[in-house]
Structure 1
Amino acid sequence: MRWSVGIETEGDRVLKREEVVELADAVAPSGGIATGIGSNRYGAQLIVLAGTREEAIETATSEFEKAVAKAGLPVFPIVRVEAINEEEDE
């Protein structure tokens, strides 16, 4: 089943446009979008395949962490995670 998972972090500094663009590029292969320009929070919405909400969150979190590393962003604590499947979205 397809899941849309939103993950948001919060840290101690404001992110620049270029940093969030790098994150957007890194999550794009997962059908993702990134947020956080001009904020002390950054995040992404990713599309993953999983059987359960827990698996979707685990998969998306792993992909998000890889994208954060690829984008060269500081690792901030995750403060929000939401997952919705395609059936719930209808």
Structure 2
Amino acid sequence: MRWSVSLRAEGDRLLALEEIVALADAVAPMEGIASGIGTMTYGAQLVIEADSADEAVNLAVPAFEQAASLAELPAWPLTGAEVVGEDEEFPDEG
């Protein structure tokens, strides 16, 4: 099953456009997107193939850390993780 895993790391300085673009390039092979321009956090949403949500997070964390390293971002601590399966239903709005 495919899972969308969102991870976030928080630190002590504002991040520049170039840094988040580098992170976006690093997570692109995982169908990923990056966020954090002008904030003291950086994050990414990755698509992970796994049997369970827990396994998806366990696979996503090192992939996220490797992408951050590749983008030459600081090794800040993770402050959040969210996971949604492709087959999970979202609540109806309206």
Q: Aligned letter for 1:79?
A: T
| Structure 1 length-normalised TM | 0.97
Deviation at 1:89, TM superposition (A): 4.1
Distance 1:61 1:17 in 2: 23
Matches of 2:89 and 2:47 in 1, distance apart? 13
Aligned residue number for residue 18 of structure 2: 18
Partner Cα separation in structure 2 for residue 35 and residue 89 of structure 1: 24
Read off the aligned partner of 2:43 and give its amino acid letter.
Answer: G
Query: Helix, strand or coil: the match of 1:61?
Result: helix
Residue number in structure 2 paired with 1:70: 70
The CA deviation at 1:2 is 0.2
The root-mean-square deviation of aligned C-alpha atoms, in Å, is 0.8
The match for 1:29 is 29
The whole-number CA distance in structure 2 between the counterparts of 1:21 and 1:89 is 31
Which residues in structure 2 correspond to 1:1-90 (within 5 Å)?
1-89=1-89
**Structure 1: runs of 5+ lacking an equivalent:** none
Q: Which runs of 5+ in 2 are unaligned?
A: none
Higher-Rg structure is 2
Question: How many percent identity over aligned positions?
Answer: 50
Offset at 1:38? 0.2
Q: Give aligned pairs, total.
A: 90
Q: Distance in 1 between matches of 2:37 and 2:86?
A: 28
TM-score by length of 2: 0.93
Aligned partner of residue 80 in structure 1, secondary structure = strand
Alpha-carbon separation, structure 2, partners of 1:83 and 1:64: 14
Q: Show CA shifts across 1:7-57 (max 9, x none).
A: 011100000000000000000000000000000000000000000111000
